[in-house]
Chain A
Amino acid sequence: MKISVDQTKCCGSGMCVLTDPDLFDQNDEDGTVVLLQEHPDAGHEATAEEAANLCPAGAITIS
Protein backbone atom coordinates (compact mmCIF):
# COMPACT_ATOMS: atom_id res chain seq x y z
CA MET A 1 0.00 0.00 0.00
CA LYS A 2 1.16 3.52 -0.86
CA ILE A 3 -0.26 6.72 0.63
CA SER A 4 -0.08 10.00 -1.33
CA VAL A 5 -1.08 13.41 0.01
CA ASP A 6 -1.80 16.66 -1.82
CA GLN A 7 -1.02 19.71 0.33
CA THR A 8 -2.67 22.02 -2.18
CA LYS A 9 -6.03 20.31 -1.63
CA CYS A 10 -5.65 19.94 2.15
CA CYS A 11 -7.89 22.22 4.26
CA GLY A 12 -6.28 21.40 7.60
CA SER A 13 -9.26 19.67 9.21
CA GLY A 14 -6.95 17.32 11.13
CA MET A 15 -9.13 14.27 10.44
CA CYS A 16 -6.11 12.24 9.29
CA VAL A 17 -4.10 13.00 12.43
CA LEU A 18 -7.11 12.19 14.57
CA THR A 19 -7.50 8.88 12.73
CA ASP A 20 -3.86 7.77 12.78
CA PRO A 21 -1.16 10.03 14.27
CA ASP A 22 1.48 7.42 13.34
CA LEU A 23 0.83 8.02 9.64
CA PHE A 24 -0.05 11.71 9.51
CA ASP A 25 0.94 14.97 11.09
CA GLN A 26 0.09 18.63 10.46
CA ASN A 27 2.38 21.49 9.55
CA ASP A 28 2.42 23.99 12.44
CA GLU A 29 2.38 26.93 10.05
CA ASP A 30 -0.73 26.29 8.00
CA GLY A 31 -2.11 23.04 9.39
CA THR A 32 -1.64 21.14 6.14
CA VAL A 33 -0.95 17.43 6.08
CA VAL A 34 2.51 15.96 6.60
CA LEU A 35 2.86 12.31 5.60
CA LEU A 36 4.91 10.34 8.12
CA GLN A 37 4.80 6.91 6.46
CA GLU A 38 4.40 6.48 2.75
CA HIS A 39 4.12 2.71 3.01
CA PRO A 40 2.13 1.81 6.13
CA ASP A 41 2.72 -1.58 7.68
CA ALA A 42 -0.16 -4.04 7.80
CA GLY A 43 -1.31 -2.78 11.19
CA HIS A 44 -1.97 0.67 9.77
CA GLU A 45 -3.56 -0.18 6.43
CA ALA A 46 -7.12 0.02 7.72
CA THR A 47 -6.60 3.41 9.35
CA ALA A 48 -4.87 4.69 6.22
CA GLU A 49 -7.98 3.77 4.20
CA GLU A 50 -10.19 5.38 6.82
CA ALA A 51 -8.16 8.59 6.83
CA ALA A 52 -8.42 8.80 3.03
CA ASN A 53 -12.15 8.26 3.24
CA LEU A 54 -12.67 10.81 6.01
CA CYS A 55 -10.53 13.56 4.48
CA PRO A 56 -13.01 16.34 3.67
CA ALA A 57 -10.88 17.74 0.87
CA GLY A 58 -9.95 14.47 -0.87
CA ALA A 59 -6.29 15.23 -0.23
CA ILE A 60 -5.29 11.64 0.61
CA THR A 61 -5.16 8.84 -1.94
CA ILE A 62 -4.27 5.21 -1.47
CA SER A 63 -2.75 3.07 -4.19
Chain B
Amino acid sequence: MTELIADELPITRQNPFDPPAEVTRIREQARISRLKFADGHLGWLVTGHHQVREILGSPKFTNDPGKHHMLDVRFQGEAPPERRKVEPGMFLSQDPPDHTRLRKMLQGQFTVRRMNQLSEWIGTIVDDQLEHLRSLGGKADLVKEFALPVPSLVICALLGVDYDERHRFQDDTTKLLSLDSTFDEAMAAMKRIQEFMRELIVRKKAAPGDDMISDLLATGEPTDEEASNMALLLLLAGHETTANMLGLGTFTLLQHPDQLKVLRDEPEVVDNAVEELMRYLSIIHFGPVRTATEDVEIEGHLIRAGDTVLMHVPAANRDPEKFPGNPDELDLRRPASGHVAFGHGIHQCLGQQLARIEMRIGFSKLFQEFPDLRLDVDPEEVPLRTDMGIYGVHSLPVAWSA
Protein backbone atom coordinates (compact mmCIF):
# COMPACT_ATOMS: atom_id res chain seq x y z
CA MET B 1 0.00 0.00 0.00
CA THR B 2 1.39 3.44 -0.94
CA GLU B 3 1.40 5.66 2.07
CA LEU B 4 1.24 9.39 2.39
CA ILE B 5 4.27 10.70 4.29
CA ALA B 6 4.34 14.07 6.06
CA ASP B 7 7.85 15.34 6.87
CA GLU B 8 6.51 17.41 9.72
CA LEU B 9 3.22 18.02 11.48
CA PRO B 10 1.43 20.99 9.88
CA ILE B 11 0.41 23.35 12.68
CA THR B 12 -0.33 26.58 10.80
CA ARG B 13 -4.02 27.42 10.95
CA GLN B 14 -5.54 29.52 8.20
CA ASN B 15 -8.30 30.87 10.44
CA PRO B 16 -8.90 30.85 14.20
CA PHE B 17 -11.47 28.06 14.31
CA ASP B 18 -10.42 25.39 11.84
CA PRO B 19 -7.64 22.80 12.00
CA PRO B 20 -4.71 23.47 9.64
CA ALA B 21 -5.91 23.10 6.03
CA GLU B 22 -2.93 20.86 5.35
CA VAL B 23 -4.10 18.37 8.00
CA THR B 24 -7.61 18.38 6.50
CA ARG B 25 -6.07 17.71 3.08
CA ILE B 26 -4.15 14.76 4.54
CA ARG B 27 -7.36 13.37 6.10
CA GLU B 28 -9.14 13.66 2.75
CA GLN B 29 -6.42 11.50 1.19
CA ALA B 30 -5.75 9.04 3.99
CA ARG B 31 -7.14 8.84 7.51
CA ILE B 32 -4.03 6.92 8.53
CA SER B 33 -0.78 8.28 7.10
CA ARG B 34 2.90 8.45 8.00
CA LEU B 35 4.58 11.24 9.94
CA LYS B 36 8.28 11.89 10.55
CA PHE B 37 9.27 12.58 14.14
CA ALA B 38 12.18 14.73 15.32
CA ASP B 39 14.61 11.83 15.70
CA GLY B 40 13.87 10.57 12.19
CA HIS B 41 11.38 7.94 13.38
CA LEU B 42 8.74 7.24 10.75
CA GLY B 43 5.58 7.12 12.84
CA TRP B 44 1.92 7.69 12.09
CA LEU B 45 -0.58 10.52 11.77
CA VAL B 46 -4.20 9.53 12.34
CA THR B 47 -6.87 12.02 11.28
CA GLY B 48 -10.03 9.90 10.91
CA HIS B 49 -12.62 9.87 13.70
CA HIS B 50 -13.17 6.13 13.69
CA GLN B 51 -9.44 5.40 13.58
CA VAL B 52 -8.63 7.83 16.42
CA ARG B 53 -11.30 6.13 18.55
CA GLU B 54 -9.97 2.69 17.75
CA ILE B 55 -6.40 3.51 18.77
CA LEU B 56 -7.35 5.49 21.89
CA GLY B 57 -9.55 2.57 22.94
CA SER B 58 -6.91 -0.09 22.32
CA PRO B 59 -4.86 -1.65 25.15
CA LYS B 60 -2.04 -2.21 22.64
CA PHE B 61 -0.89 1.40 22.90
CA THR B 62 0.89 3.12 25.80
CA ASN B 63 0.71 6.72 26.95
CA ASP B 64 4.13 6.51 28.67
CA PRO B 65 6.03 9.58 27.40
CA GLY B 66 9.30 7.69 27.92
CA LYS B 67 8.22 5.39 25.09
CA HIS B 68 7.15 8.14 22.66
CA HIS B 69 9.25 9.59 19.87
CA MET B 70 9.16 13.36 20.08
CA LEU B 71 7.57 15.74 17.60
CA ASP B 72 9.75 18.53 16.33
CA VAL B 73 7.07 21.07 17.30
CA ARG B 74 7.73 20.54 21.04
CA PHE B 75 11.01 21.23 22.85
CA GLN B 76 12.61 21.53 19.40
CA GLY B 77 12.16 17.77 19.42
CA GLU B 78 14.74 17.40 22.16
CA ALA B 79 13.72 15.58 25.31
CA PRO B 80 15.87 12.57 26.08
CA PRO B 81 13.77 9.48 26.94
CA GLU B 82 15.64 8.95 30.21
CA ARG B 83 14.40 12.37 31.31
CA ARG B 84 10.82 11.64 30.37
CA LYS B 85 10.24 9.12 33.15
CA VAL B 86 6.75 9.14 34.58
CA GLU B 87 6.62 10.14 38.22
CA PRO B 88 4.37 8.30 40.68
CA GLY B 89 0.80 9.62 40.60
CA MET B 90 0.93 11.03 37.05
CA PHE B 91 -1.82 8.64 36.04
CA LEU B 92 -2.54 10.36 32.73
CA SER B 93 0.83 9.08 31.52
CA GLN B 94 0.50 5.62 33.02
CA ASP B 95 -0.94 2.35 31.77
CA PRO B 96 -2.97 -0.21 33.73
CA PRO B 97 -2.72 -1.42 36.44
CA ASP B 98 -1.16 1.76 37.94
CA HIS B 99 -3.47 4.03 35.97
CA THR B 100 -6.55 2.06 36.99
CA ARG B 101 -5.61 2.06 40.68
CA LEU B 102 -4.97 5.81 40.81
CA ARG B 103 -7.87 6.94 38.62
CA LYS B 104 -10.29 4.85 40.66
CA MET B 105 -9.33 6.84 43.76
CA LEU B 106 -10.72 9.96 42.05
CA GLN B 107 -13.57 8.70 39.88
CA GLY B 108 -16.13 8.86 42.68
CA GLN B 109 -15.44 12.59 43.07
CA PHE B 110 -16.36 13.39 39.45
CA THR B 111 -19.58 11.45 38.88
CA VAL B 112 -22.45 13.02 36.95
CA ARG B 113 -24.50 13.21 40.17
CA ARG B 114 -21.78 14.97 42.17
CA MET B 115 -21.09 17.41 39.39
CA ASN B 116 -24.79 18.20 38.96
CA GLN B 117 -24.96 18.94 42.68
CA LEU B 118 -22.37 21.68 42.08
CA SER B 119 -24.49 23.51 39.49
CA GLU B 120 -25.94 26.06 41.85
CA TRP B 121 -22.58 26.83 43.45
CA ILE B 122 -20.89 27.15 40.04
CA GLY B 123 -23.76 29.47 39.06
CA THR B 124 -22.91 31.83 41.92
CA ILE B 125 -19.21 31.80 40.97
CA VAL B 126 -20.20 32.72 37.40
CA ASP B 127 -22.61 35.42 38.65
CA ASP B 128 -19.92 36.95 40.86
CA GLN B 129 -17.43 36.97 38.03
CA LEU B 130 -19.94 38.58 35.65
CA GLU B 131 -20.65 41.25 38.25
CA HIS B 132 -16.92 41.86 38.45
CA LEU B 133 -16.80 42.09 34.64
CA ARG B 134 -19.59 44.65 34.60
CA SER B 135 -17.83 46.71 37.25
CA LEU B 136 -14.98 47.27 34.79
CA GLY B 137 -17.11 49.68 32.74
CA GLY B 138 -17.78 48.88 29.11
CA LYS B 139 -14.76 46.94 27.96
CA ALA B 140 -12.40 44.25 29.22
CA ASP B 141 -10.25 41.26 28.33
CA LEU B 142 -12.73 38.41 28.66
CA VAL B 143 -9.99 35.81 29.21
CA LYS B 144 -8.41 37.64 32.14
CA GLU B 145 -11.66 38.73 33.76
CA PHE B 146 -13.96 35.77 33.12
CA ALA B 147 -12.81 32.74 31.10
CA LEU B 148 -9.71 32.00 33.19
CA PRO B 149 -11.00 33.00 36.66
CA VAL B 150 -14.20 30.89 36.56
CA PRO B 151 -12.65 27.43 36.12
CA SER B 152 -9.66 28.44 38.28
CA LEU B 153 -11.93 29.45 41.15
CA VAL B 154 -13.92 26.24 40.76
CA ILE B 155 -11.00 23.81 40.68
CA CYS B 156 -9.16 25.66 43.46
CA ALA B 157 -12.20 25.44 45.73
CA LEU B 158 -12.81 21.78 44.88
CA LEU B 159 -9.21 20.80 45.53
CA GLY B 160 -8.78 23.06 48.55
CA VAL B 161 -6.12 25.29 46.93
CA ASP B 162 -6.13 28.94 48.02
CA TYR B 163 -7.09 30.95 44.90
CA ASP B 164 -4.92 33.81 46.15
CA GLU B 165 -1.94 31.52 45.61
CA ARG B 166 -2.68 31.09 41.90
CA HIS B 167 0.55 32.92 41.02
CA ARG B 168 2.27 29.75 42.24
CA PHE B 169 0.89 27.72 39.36
CA GLN B 170 -0.70 29.84 36.61
CA ASP B 171 2.41 31.35 34.98
CA ASP B 172 4.25 28.07 35.29
CA THR B 173 1.33 26.23 33.66
CA THR B 174 1.76 28.57 30.68
CA LYS B 175 5.49 27.77 30.53
CA LEU B 176 4.77 24.07 30.80
CA LEU B 177 2.29 24.11 27.91
CA SER B 178 4.15 26.54 25.65
CA LEU B 179 5.45 25.01 22.44
CA ASP B 180 8.23 27.61 22.57
CA SER B 181 9.58 26.45 25.95
CA THR B 182 12.72 24.37 25.89
CA PHE B 183 12.54 21.03 27.66
CA ASP B 184 14.60 22.46 30.54
CA GLU B 185 12.30 25.46 30.91
CA ALA B 186 9.19 23.26 30.94
CA MET B 187 10.73 20.90 33.50
CA ALA B 188 11.79 23.80 35.73
CA ALA B 189 8.21 25.12 35.63
CA MET B 190 6.94 21.63 36.48
CA LYS B 191 9.32 21.38 39.46
CA ARG B 192 8.03 24.67 40.86
CA ILE B 193 4.39 23.56 40.61
CA GLN B 194 5.35 20.22 42.19
CA GLU B 195 7.00 22.06 45.08
CA PHE B 196 3.78 24.04 45.61
CA MET B 197 1.72 20.84 45.58
CA ARG B 198 4.08 19.07 47.99
CA GLU B 199 3.70 21.95 50.45
CA LEU B 200 -0.05 21.73 49.99
CA ILE B 201 -0.09 18.01 50.82
CA VAL B 202 1.86 18.69 54.02
CA ARG B 203 -0.63 21.41 54.98
CA LYS B 204 -3.66 19.23 54.20
CA LYS B 205 -2.29 16.36 56.27
CA ALA B 206 -1.80 18.67 59.22
CA ALA B 207 -5.17 20.37 58.83
CA PRO B 208 -7.62 18.53 56.56
CA GLY B 209 -10.40 20.54 54.97
CA ASP B 210 -13.64 19.80 53.16
CA ASP B 211 -12.00 19.28 49.77
CA MET B 212 -10.91 16.62 47.29
CA ILE B 213 -7.24 16.54 48.30
CA SER B 214 -8.14 16.04 51.97
CA ASP B 215 -10.62 13.33 50.96
CA LEU B 216 -7.97 11.63 48.84
CA LEU B 217 -5.44 11.71 51.67
CA ALA B 218 -8.05 10.41 54.12
CA THR B 219 -8.41 7.21 52.11
CA GLY B 220 -4.81 6.39 53.04
CA GLU B 221 -4.44 4.88 49.57
CA PRO B 222 -1.97 7.09 47.69
CA THR B 223 1.55 7.82 48.87
CA ASP B 224 2.29 11.49 49.51
CA GLU B 225 4.20 11.72 46.26
CA GLU B 226 1.33 10.13 44.33
CA ALA B 227 -1.23 12.40 45.98
CA SER B 228 0.83 15.46 45.18
CA ASN B 229 1.18 14.60 41.48
CA MET B 230 -2.47 13.57 41.22
CA ALA B 231 -3.50 16.92 42.68
CA LEU B 232 -1.17 18.68 40.25
CA LEU B 233 -2.79 16.94 37.30
CA LEU B 234 -6.28 17.90 38.49
CA LEU B 235 -5.26 21.49 39.05
CA LEU B 236 -3.66 21.91 35.61
CA ALA B 237 -6.27 19.98 33.67
CA GLY B 238 -9.02 21.67 35.66
CA HIS B 239 -8.35 25.24 34.66
CA GLU B 240 -6.45 25.49 31.36
CA THR B 241 -8.77 23.48 29.15
CA THR B 242 -12.12 24.89 30.29
CA ALA B 243 -10.71 28.42 30.38
CA ASN B 244 -9.69 28.14 26.75
CA MET B 245 -13.00 26.64 25.71
CA LEU B 246 -14.79 29.58 27.35
CA GLY B 247 -12.48 32.11 25.69
CA LEU B 248 -12.32 30.57 22.22
CA GLY B 249 -15.97 29.50 22.41
CA THR B 250 -17.05 33.09 23.08
CA PHE B 251 -14.91 34.33 20.18
CA THR B 252 -16.51 31.67 17.98
CA LEU B 253 -20.06 32.60 18.96
CA LEU B 254 -19.39 36.31 18.45
CA GLN B 255 -18.13 35.51 14.95
CA HIS B 256 -21.19 33.34 14.22
CA PRO B 257 -24.10 35.70 15.07
CA ASP B 258 -26.70 33.37 13.55
CA GLN B 259 -25.62 30.61 15.93
CA LEU B 260 -25.42 32.98 18.88
CA LYS B 261 -29.02 33.90 18.08
CA VAL B 262 -29.96 30.20 18.25
CA LEU B 263 -28.39 29.98 21.71
CA ARG B 264 -30.24 33.11 22.83
CA ASP B 265 -33.63 32.23 21.34
CA GLU B 266 -33.58 28.55 22.32
CA PRO B 267 -31.95 28.29 25.76
CA GLU B 268 -32.70 24.56 25.86
CA VAL B 269 -30.15 24.06 23.07
CA VAL B 270 -27.29 24.88 25.46
CA ASP B 271 -26.30 21.29 26.34
CA ASN B 272 -25.97 20.43 22.69
CA ALA B 273 -24.28 23.77 22.01
CA VAL B 274 -21.54 22.81 24.48
CA GLU B 275 -21.02 19.47 22.69
CA GLU B 276 -20.97 21.19 19.29
CA LEU B 277 -18.47 23.81 20.47
CA MET B 278 -16.29 21.00 21.84
CA ARG B 279 -16.53 19.16 18.51
CA TYR B 280 -15.92 22.29 16.47
CA LEU B 281 -12.99 23.60 18.51
CA SER B 282 -11.50 20.47 20.16
CA ILE B 283 -9.26 22.82 22.20
CA ILE B 284 -6.16 20.65 22.07
CA HIS B 285 -3.99 22.05 19.30
CA PHE B 286 -3.05 18.56 18.05
CA GLY B 287 -2.56 15.14 19.60
CA PRO B 288 -2.76 13.13 21.75
CA VAL B 289 0.14 10.74 21.16
CA ARG B 290 0.39 7.02 21.84
CA THR B 291 3.06 4.38 21.13
CA ALA B 292 2.29 0.80 20.11
CA THR B 293 3.41 -1.86 22.58
CA GLU B 294 2.85 -4.67 20.07
CA ASP B 295 2.23 -4.96 16.34
CA VAL B 296 -1.28 -3.79 15.46
CA GLU B 297 -2.97 -3.89 12.09
CA ILE B 298 -5.51 -1.17 11.42
CA GLU B 299 -7.30 -0.99 8.09
CA GLY B 300 -4.44 -2.64 6.28
CA HIS B 301 -1.72 -0.58 7.94
CA LEU B 302 0.77 -2.45 10.10
CA ILE B 303 1.64 -0.30 13.09
CA ARG B 304 4.68 -1.96 14.61
CA ALA B 305 5.58 -2.22 18.30
CA GLY B 306 7.50 0.95 19.17
CA ASP B 307 5.85 3.10 16.49
CA THR B 308 4.58 6.45 17.79
CA VAL B 309 1.17 7.59 16.58
CA LEU B 310 -0.05 11.17 16.63
CA MET B 311 -3.82 11.34 16.71
CA HIS B 312 -5.21 14.61 15.39
CA VAL B 313 -8.35 15.28 17.43
CA PRO B 314 -9.25 18.59 15.70
CA ALA B 315 -9.18 16.80 12.31
CA ALA B 316 -11.09 13.77 13.64
CA ASN B 317 -13.83 16.02 15.03
CA ARG B 318 -14.36 17.40 11.51
CA ASP B 319 -14.46 13.98 9.83
CA PRO B 320 -17.51 13.90 7.49
CA GLU B 321 -17.74 10.13 7.91
CA LYS B 322 -18.78 10.73 11.52
CA PHE B 323 -20.39 14.14 11.17
CA PRO B 324 -22.13 14.18 7.78
CA GLY B 325 -23.30 17.31 6.03
CA ASN B 326 -20.83 20.09 6.51
CA PRO B 327 -18.69 19.29 9.56
CA ASP B 328 -16.70 22.50 9.06
CA GLU B 329 -19.82 24.49 9.82
CA LEU B 330 -20.77 25.40 13.40
CA ASP B 331 -24.32 24.16 13.96
CA LEU B 332 -25.50 24.23 17.57
CA ARG B 333 -28.45 21.97 16.72
CA ARG B 334 -26.30 19.25 15.10
CA PRO B 335 -26.08 15.89 16.89
CA ALA B 336 -22.51 16.41 18.11
CA SER B 337 -22.16 13.68 20.70
CA GLY B 338 -19.43 11.17 20.00
CA HIS B 339 -16.82 13.86 19.37
CA VAL B 340 -13.38 13.00 20.72
CA ALA B 341 -12.55 16.37 22.26
CA PHE B 342 -12.47 14.74 25.72
CA GLY B 343 -10.49 11.85 24.24
CA HIS B 344 -11.55 8.22 24.18
CA GLY B 345 -10.43 5.08 25.99
CA ILE B 346 -9.42 4.72 29.61
CA HIS B 347 -7.76 8.15 29.69
CA GLN B 348 -10.90 10.00 28.59
CA CYS B 349 -11.16 13.26 30.54
CA LEU B 350 -11.88 12.58 34.20
CA GLY B 351 -13.31 16.07 34.72
CA GLN B 352 -15.54 16.14 31.64
CA GLN B 353 -18.81 16.34 33.58
CA LEU B 354 -17.48 19.30 35.53
CA ALA B 355 -16.27 20.97 32.33
CA ARG B 356 -19.69 20.52 30.70
CA ILE B 357 -21.44 22.22 33.61
CA GLU B 358 -18.93 25.08 33.72
CA MET B 359 -19.40 25.69 29.99
CA ARG B 360 -23.17 25.33 30.09
CA ILE B 361 -23.54 27.86 32.91
CA GLY B 362 -20.67 30.06 31.70
CA PHE B 363 -21.93 30.56 28.14
CA SER B 364 -25.62 30.85 29.15
CA LYS B 365 -25.13 33.48 31.79
CA LEU B 366 -22.50 35.44 29.87
CA PHE B 367 -24.78 36.00 26.88
CA GLN B 368 -27.89 36.51 29.06
CA GLU B 369 -26.22 39.15 31.19
CA PHE B 370 -24.35 40.83 28.34
CA PRO B 371 -26.79 40.69 25.42
CA ASP B 372 -24.80 43.13 23.32
CA LEU B 373 -21.36 41.68 24.01
CA ARG B 374 -19.09 42.34 21.02
CA LEU B 375 -15.49 42.12 19.98
CA ASP B 376 -13.57 45.30 20.73
CA VAL B 377 -10.86 44.67 18.11
CA ASP B 378 -10.79 43.37 14.56
CA PRO B 379 -11.06 39.58 14.63
CA GLU B 380 -7.62 39.36 12.98
CA GLU B 381 -6.12 41.11 16.00
CA VAL B 382 -7.24 38.51 18.56
CA PRO B 383 -4.03 36.80 19.70
CA LEU B 384 -4.36 33.06 19.08
CA ARG B 385 -2.66 30.38 21.17
CA THR B 386 -0.90 28.87 18.16
CA ASP B 387 2.18 28.56 20.38
CA MET B 388 0.47 26.43 23.03
CA GLY B 389 -0.39 22.74 23.42
CA ILE B 390 -3.87 23.80 24.50
CA TYR B 391 -5.26 26.06 21.77
CA GLY B 392 -7.49 29.08 22.36
CA VAL B 393 -7.04 32.83 22.61
CA HIS B 394 -4.42 34.58 24.77
CA SER B 395 -6.84 37.45 25.29
CA LEU B 396 -10.26 38.47 24.01
CA PRO B 397 -10.95 42.22 24.09
CA VAL B 398 -14.72 42.67 24.33
CA ALA B 399 -17.08 45.60 24.84
CA TRP B 400 -20.69 46.07 25.93
CA SER B 401 -23.09 48.92 26.72
CA ALA B 402 -22.30 49.95 30.27
Contact = CB atoms under 8 A, between A and B. Distances in A.
Contacts of A13: 342, 348-350, 352
A18 B112 contact: yes
B108 interface: yes
A31 B346 contact: no
Contact of A50 (B56, B105, B110, B337): B337
Contact of B112 (A11, A26, A32, A56): A26
Contacts of B105: 30
Contact of A56 (B100, B104, B108, B345): B345
Interface in A1-52: 11-15, 17-19, 21, 25-32, 50
Contacts of B114: 28
Interface centre among A11, A17, A30 (most CB of B within 10 A): A11
Nearest to A59: B346
Contacts of B348: 11, 13, 15, 56-57
B182 interface: no
Interface string B94-109: 0000001001110111
Interface secondary structure of B, over-half rule: helix
Interface in B289-347: 337-338, 342-347
A53 interface: yes
Interface secondary structure of A, over-half rule: loop
Interface residues of B, number: 29
Contacts of A30: 104-105, 107-108
Chain A contact patch, size range: 20 to 34
B337 A12 contact: no
Contacts of A31: 104, 107-111
Given A18-B353, A30-B108, A31-B108, A11 B103 contact: yes
A37 B342 CA distance: 27
A57 B347 CA distance: 9
B83 interface: no
B108 A27 contact: yes
Given A12-B104, A17-B111, A56 B337 contact: no
A14 B352 contact: yes
B113 interface: yes
A21 B111 CA distance: 12
B350 A12 contact: yes
Contacts of A14: 110-112, 115, 352-353
A29 B342 CA distance: 23
A53 B344 CA distance: 11
Given A54-B338, A56-B57, A58-B57, A11 B346 contact: yes
Interface centre among A14, A19, A27 (most CB of B within 10 A): A14
Given A13-B352, A26-B113, A54 B107 contact: no
B344 A56 contact: yes
Contacts of A26: 108, 111-113
A25 B337 CA distance: 19
Interface centre among A11, A13, A15, A29 (most CB of B within 10 A): A13
Interface of A: 11-15, 17-19, 21, 25-32, 50, 53-54, 56-58
25 contacts: A11-B107, A11-B346, A11-B348, A12-B110, A13-B348, A13-B352, A14-B110, A14-B112, A14-B352, A14-B353, A15-B348, A17-B113, A18-B112, A26-B108, A28-B111, A28-B114, A30-B105, A31-B104, A31-B108, A31-B109, A31-B110, A50-B337, A56-B345, A57-B345, A58-B57
